[in-house]
Amino acid sequence: MKIGIYQLTAGNQQQIDEESNAFLQRVEKISTIEFCRLEVTTFSQYKLNLIFVRTGGTEAMFTEIYQKLKGPFYLLTTGEFNSLAASMEILAFLKQKQEQAEIIHGEECDIALKIETLYHQRADYNEVIKAKLGVIGKPSDWLIASMVDYEVIKRRMGIELLNIDISELLETTKSATIPTNATIHQVMSHKFDELTLTQALKLYQGLRLLITKYGLSGLTIRCFDLLTTIKNTSCLGLAILNSEGFIGACEGDIPAMISMYILREITGSPGFQANPAQIDHKNNEIVFAHCTLPITMATSYTLMSHFESGLGVAVRGILPQTTVTIFKLANDLQKCFISRGEILENLDSDHLCRTQIRIKMVKDVSYFLTEPLGNHHIIVLGDYVEKLEKYFMEL
């Protein structure tokens, strides 16, 4: 197995080379490992990449290259030349940056076993495809626990977040024309106010044009601002985007958008961004509801107005009674919620967002009352718990 290794050295280079090369050769001899030298620009070249802290005095050197590297960070050390001491200082620095990192140290046979174990634990999808996601407007004011650090997201996940002013969407929408395809034809076959539906579809096309312009894999929009500017909503547009293979999240919720993107990459299926609405402790059940269900998730659907405002076009869909996965990534990437569930029934309350489903949860519903990772959670049809857990063990 080929293991990438980047070396940090301070001091007598010739002596260090002799000692450290002999150390690496001994590890290779008792294992299936082949160490392959890395540069900063090729650091993520292999399935598993190590930083060999060969001496002390390398701490400041590491800080100079840190932002050019992508974790997780595995610090290989020896018992010579203050290698371990320097690694401990670097590890403390990385933990302060909320990076996944650890030191590999001990007898050479233990080091070899640890490296081989790490290699085999790496998931085939140990990182999602690098993407660019748009943030139109900014997160809604009520998402007070959903702020993210753009640089951390880019460094740890390879996802670039691009801010787009909502005024650009409004200008783009003015000149947008409704496309003619099977999906749009199906949507327009539903009975609804023609003017409102036409405007909602032009808004969808405006979002679609911005995706093309900026090369986005998806977006989130501060959608409630549309209620005062154009008296319409993006619910339908987001429902269509998610059905077309893009990510469309509402309320400017960035963690929800990233969660939807991860689900799409791992499962190949769209996710339903929904609010927990009612919790039944006794039966471990929860009602989720929202207005932006991807239309391809539904066995059938109707068009309604947006719940909170009575404006625009939203989707009330009927979902199959089947196994689902409920997922949410924390805004700091440190935690996530993953649970299997079973859709028991579709509801039609006048006091909830338009698509409403009751789910029997596997994990204890008390999570939602004691330690939730925000209000929006993402639901995907099928059982992907094991795949997600494996992915996040790596992240």
Tokens encoding 78: 């020896």
What are 79-132's pLDDT values in tens digits?
889 999 999 999 999 999 888 899 999 999 999 999 988 887 664 444 455 689
**How far is residue 170 from each of residues 137, 167, 207, 357, measured CA to CA in Å?**
11, 5, 9, 33
Residues 158/165, Cβ–Cβ less than 8 Å: no
3-class DSSP state of 265: helix
What gap in Å lies between CA 241 and CA 90, rounded to an integer? Answer: 43
| Helices 235-243, 194-214: inter-axial angle, 10-degree rounding | 50
User: Which phi-psi region, left, alpha or beta, contains residue 144 (left: φ > 0; alpha: ψ -120 to 50)?
Assistant: alpha
Residues 385/339, Cβ–Cβ less than 8 Å: yes
**How far is residue 11 from each of residues 14, 32, 71, 88, 215, measured CA to CA in Å?**
9, 31, 26, 19, 47
Residues 215/132, Cβ–Cβ less than 8 Å: yes
Q: Where are the beta strands (DSSP E) in the chain?
A: 2-8, 34-37, 49-53, 73-76, 101-104, 131-136, 159-164, 218-221, 247-250, 272-280, 285-290, 300-304, 314-318, 323-329, 336-347, 355-361, 377-381
Cα–chain-centroid distance for residue 222? 19
- Cβ-defined contacts of 319-323 (< 8 Å, 24+): 319/293, 319/343, 319/346, 319/355, 319/357, 319/381, 320/381, 321/345, 322/381, 322/382, 323/381, 323/382, 323/383
Domains along the chain with CATH numbers: 2-121 (3.40.50.10940), 131-394 (no CATH)
Please list the residues that pair with 279 across neighbouring strands: 286
What gap in Å lies between CA 233 and CA 216, rounded to an integer? Answer: 21
Q: Checking DSSP bridges between strand 218-221 and strand 336-347, what pairing results, if any?
A: unpaired
What gap in Å lies between CA 274 and CA 287, rounded to an integer? Answer: 10
The amino acid that residue 32 corresponds to is: T
Per-residue pLDDT of the chain (395 residues; tens, 9 = 90+): 889 999 999 977 778 888 899 999 999 999 889 999 999 888 877 888 999 999 999 999 999 999 888 888 999 999 889 999 999 999 999 999 888 899 999 999 999 999 988 887 664 444 455 689 999 998 888 888 888 999 889 888 889 999 999 999 999 999 899 988 888 989 999 989 999 999 999 999 999 999 999 999 999 999 988 988 999 999 999 999 999 989 999 999 999 999 999 999 888 899 999 999 999 999 999 999 999 999 999 999 999 999 989 999 999 999 999 999 999 999 988 899 999 999 999 999 989 899 999 999 999 999 999 999 999 999 999 999 988 988 887 66
Tokens encoding 29: 């001899």
Report residue 326: phi and psi, to 5°.
Answer: -110, 130
What are 350-392's pLDDT values in tens digits?
898 999 999 999 999 999 999 999 999 999 999 999 889 888 8
pTM: 0.72
Residues 141/227, Cβ–Cβ less than 8 Å: no
Q: Report how far apart the first and last C-alpha atoms of the chain are (Å, whole number).
A: 21
User: Which residues 6+ apart lie within 8 Å of 380 measured at CB?
Assistant: 263, 267, 269, 270, 271, 272, 324, 325, 327
Residues 161/153, Cβ–Cβ less than 8 Å: yes
User: Which residues 6+ apart lie within 8 Å of 310 measured at CB?
Assistant: none
